[in-house]
Chains A and B, each alone.
Chain A
Amino acid sequence: MIWNKNKECMSRDELRDLQGKRLHKLVDLVYHNTPFYREKMQELDLLPDDIRTIDDIVKLPFTTKADLRDNYPMGLVAAPMTEIVRIHASSGTTGNPTIVGYTYRDLEIWKEVTARALTAYGVTRGDIVSVGYGYGLFTGGLGAHYGVEHLGATVLPTSTGNTEKHIRLLRDLGVTGLACTPSYALYLAEALNKQGLTGADLKLRIGAFGAEPWTENMRREIEERLGIQAYNIYGLSEIMGPGVAYECGCKNGSHIAEDHFYPEIINPETGEVLPLGQEGELVLTTLTKTGMPLLRYRTKDLTTLMPGTCDCGRTSVRFTRILGRSDDMLIIRGINVFPSQVEAVILEIPEIAPCYMLVVDRKNNLDTLEVQVELRPDSFSDDMGSMLALKRKLSDRLKSVLSISAEVKLVEPNSLPRSEGKSTRVIDKRVLA
Chain B
Amino acid sequence: MTIKQLSVFLENKSGRINEVTKVLGENGINMQAFSMAETTDFGILRLIVSDVDKAVEVLRAKNFAVVLTDVVCICCPNVAGALSKILEKLAAHQIFIEYMYAFAQGDQANIVIRPSNLEECVRLLAEEDCHILDRKQLQ
- A binding-site residues for B, Cβ under 8 Å: 375-377, 379-384, 387-388, 409-415
Which A residue sits closest to B98, measured CB to CB?
A383
In the bound assembly, the distance between CA atoms of A415 and B5 in angstroms comes to: 25
Which of B57-65, B76-84, B128-136 forms contacts with chain A? Answer: B57-65
Which 4 residue pairs spanning A and B have beta carbons closest together? A380-B65, A382-B7, A382-B69, A377-B65
B1-32 near A? 1/0 per residue, CB < 8 Å: 00001010111000010000000000000000
In the bound assembly, the distance between CA atoms of A382 and B64 in angstroms comes to: 13
For this complex, 19 residue pairs linking A to B, each with C-beta atoms less than 8 Å apart, are A375-B9, A377-B64, A379-B65, A380-B66, A382-B5, A382-B7, A382-B67, A382-B114, A383-B98, A384-B39, A387-B39, A388-B39, A412-B10, A412-B63, A413-B9, A413-B64, A413-B65, A415-B11, A415-B63
Number of A-B contacts (CB under 8 A): 52
Chain A residues closer than 8 Å to B65, beta-carbon distance: 375-377, 379-380, 412-413
A380 to chain B, nearest CB (A): 4
In the bound assembly, the distance between CA atoms of A382 and B56 in angstroms comes to: 14
Chain B residues closer than 8 Å to A383, beta-carbon distance: 98
Chain A residues closer than 8 Å to B66, beta-carbon distance: 377, 380
Which A residue sits closest to B10, measured CB to CB?
A412
Chain B residues closer than 8 Å to A413, beta-carbon distance: 9, 63-65
Classify the secondary structure of B's interface with A: strand
A96 to chain B, nearest CB (A): 34
Which A residue sits closest to B5, measured CB to CB?
A382
- Selected from A379, A387, A409, A414, the residue in CB contact (under 8 A) with B63 is A414
Chain A residues closer than 8 Å to B37, beta-carbon distance: 384
Chain B residues closer than 8 Å to A414, beta-carbon distance: 63
- Selected from A387, A409, A412, A415, the residue in CB contact (under 8 A) with B44 is A387
A407 to chain B, nearest CB (A): 8
Q: Is B127 an interface residue (CB 8 A)?
A: no
Q: Is B42 an interface residue (CB 8 A)?
A: yes
Given contacts A388-B39, A410-B42, 4 further A-B contacts (CB under 8 A): A380-B7, A382-B44, A384-B37, A387-B44
In the bound assembly, the distance between CA atoms of A383 and B63 in angstroms comes to: 20
Chain B residues closer than 8 Å to A379, beta-carbon distance: 65
CB neighbors of A among B30-76 (8 A): 37, 39, 41-42, 44, 46, 60, 63-67, 69
Known: A387-B42, A387-B44. A380 touches B63 (CB 8 A): no
In the bound assembly, the distance between CA atoms of A51 and B19 in angstroms comes to: 68
